[in-house]
Amino acid sequence: MKNKYLYLGALLTLSVFTGCDKEFLERPPKDTLVDGNFFKTDGQVLAATAPLYSVVWKDYVDKASWALGDLRAGTTFRAYGYRDDVLFNTTEVSTSNSEAYRAFYIVVGQANTLIQNVNRYAGPGVSAEIKNHAIAEARFMRATAYTLLVMNYGAVPIIENNLELLNNSAVKRNTIESVWEFITRDYLFAAENLPAVALEEGRLTKWSAEGMLARTYLTRAGVGAIGNRNQEYLNKAKEYADRVIEMSGAKLLTNYADLFRYPYDNNSESLFEQQWVFTTNYGYANTMVSQITYSNDIANGDGWGGDLGATWWMLSLYDGLFEDGFTTDTRLKATYMLPGFHYPEISQTVRDSEGKQSEQELIFPSPGADSDRSFASIKKYVVGKADDLGGMATTQRYPNDTYMLRLAEMYLIYAEAALGNSASTEDATILKYFDTIRERAGLPPHEGALTWDDIFEERMKEFAMEGLAWYDLVRLHYYDSEKAYEIINNQDRGLFIVRPDRMPNPTSWKFVKTEGFNERTANANSGNFELPIPAVESSQAPSLREDPVPYDFGG
């Protein structure tokens, strides 16, 4: 029996956009990516790549991105749902696992189909430049999907032609080293064939690909290493990160919070983001907002993230918060909500003692006097009601994009790659790049020598709830598994209560752990660090349980 999910990407039919306001998303194929009559002009070929920026990622972004990327990593926790991810016990039947695996192979399948169709059907009216551009976009997306596959599952099957495998239940996994080589080759092709300036707003550029190469080489430096990472790959990561910083023209936004307000889409800091639109078509709208918003009081008939919030461990990273009761780090308010935080860009429904409703700017509420638990709810990507967005939102349909790569990461990749295998550094350039990120967050320059732990904690604060934290731990696990286990197993992932010193304009907060709540820690070890391939996949293709083999790159 063929593996119906593994090959779904080759068969997926994509519907037409409605209500788009992003130019390059307005020209999709009139039928599907497999319509050979479509690839006749430059415009048609470019239109065929548009779904790779959104709908193919749908199952991942909706919930699995933060369930795997943040719940498993310990930056965020959920009190009542997704406990398998929170407690680091994701299984072969976990929802997040099956959704992620399916989504990644949908991306791979659609990218492969597009590459084959452009090569097969693109007529004389299609320029060589646009043909290569479309293939580069597809290979970039395929590489991104495989990056997420190998970092979650380890060895996985490399597939370049889905149709050849439709009736093959004996597909084998390929080695981790092979998958990383495949990823690198795809990104290198993309860097060589994408333009320095986007053809249309939101499309990939060579800097998108070089940024991903910086991330890839930083990770590959630890693959197969014990202790010291591969210096050649560290040098490449540093080089690519520096090129993007110095040559791309990308700039950090001055205000961190603006990155996640609407409309921030395709701003000067963005190197790659998934392009969502407000539309009646469920597949092309951002539905993640529905999942993470804490209450319908600030949403549109949804808001199902009431038991989501920062972990105790995550809050402990913000400078001064636990010691002094407050922090100057502006990323906290932009990422998580504490009682009394004001958000004038979001409307909040409130009720008086008689139940009469009215609207005000969002003031995150304080827990009741008798409560022993509360949540530092999610703010990042939460954008509010339809009235706050010019009417461009409704239940499970939000317009804001989601980042996959930001310029800020290049500064921290440079710092980590340049630090390399050293215990610490006082190199002026490294400290300058590191402090660039801290300065925007309202923090003073770093004092003393810089260590890996300093960079890691800065990454946690910079990218919390962007689905990246777990992959930082995987990167570490490649070359220092015991340190990765130690970080996870020492995180407090349990319930607590946050009490402001006053309302509605608090000046400090007190944090107290909830008594009697026992599930405070995870148990990371070599047996549960990689996700098991979902049961529905391995049961239909038993060969996926066999030892992986090297991939044949054909010389």
Query: Per-residue DSSP letters for 498-543?
Result: EEESSSSS-S-EEEEEPTT---------TTTSSPPPPHHHHHH-GG
pLDDT of amino acid 8: 32
pLDDT digits (tens, 9 = 90+) for 95-113: 999 999 999 999 999 999 9
State the chain's mean pLDDT as an integer: 92
pLDDT exceeds cutoff 90 at 20:
no
pLDDT of amino acid 280: 85
pLDDT of amino acid 153: 98
In a domain, 502, yes or no: no
Kindly report the CATH number assigned to the domain that includes residue 172: 1.25.40.390
Of the candidates 58, 76, 59, 56, which has an alpha carbon nearest to the alpha carbon of residue 470? 76
Are 420 and 429 in contact by the 8 Å Cβ rule? The answer is no
pLDDT digits (tens, 9 = 90+) for 28-70: 433 344 456 789 999 999 999 999 999 999 999 999 999 999 9
Q: Which amino acid is at 460?
A: M
Distance set, CA 200 to CA 130, 203, 271 (Å) = 13, 6, 13
In a domain, 208, yes or no: no
Q: Which amino acid is at 250?
A: A
In a domain, 113, yes or no: yes
Query: What is the rounded average pLDDT of the residues 279-284?
Result: 87
Backbone angles phi, psi at 361, to 5 degrees: -70, 150
Of the candidates 49, 25, 62, which has an alpha carbon nearest to the alpha carbon of residue 397? 62
In a domain, 129, yes or no: yes
Q: What pTM did the predictor assign?
A: 0.94
In a domain, 420, yes or no: no
In a domain, 309, yes or no: no
pLDDT confidence bin for 7, thresholds 50/70/90: very low
Query: What is the rounded average pLDDT of the residues 441-462?
Result: 98
Q: What gap in Å lies between CA 128 and CA 552, rounded to an integer?
A: 28
Three-state secondary structure string covering 124-171: CCCCHHHHHHHHHHHHHHHHHHHHHHHHHHCCECCCCCCHHHCCCCCC
In a domain, 473, yes or no: no
pLDDT of amino acid 303: 98
Q: Which domain holds residue 37?
A: 9-17+24-193
Token digits of residue 256? 């961190």
Query: What is the rounded average pLDDT of the residues 528-537?
Result: 93
* Least confident span in 12-21, 178-187, 332-341: 12-21
pLDDT of amino acid 17: 30
pLDDT of amino acid 26: 47
In a domain, 383, yes or no: no
Based on the structure, what is the number of domains in the chain? 1
Q: What gap in Å lies between CA 537 and CA 516, rounded to an integer?
A: 39
pLDDT digits (tens, 9 = 90+) for 304-316: 999 999 999 999 9
Q: What gap in Å lies between CA 211 and CA 224, rounded to an integer?
A: 23
pLDDT exceeds cutoff 50 at 72:
yes
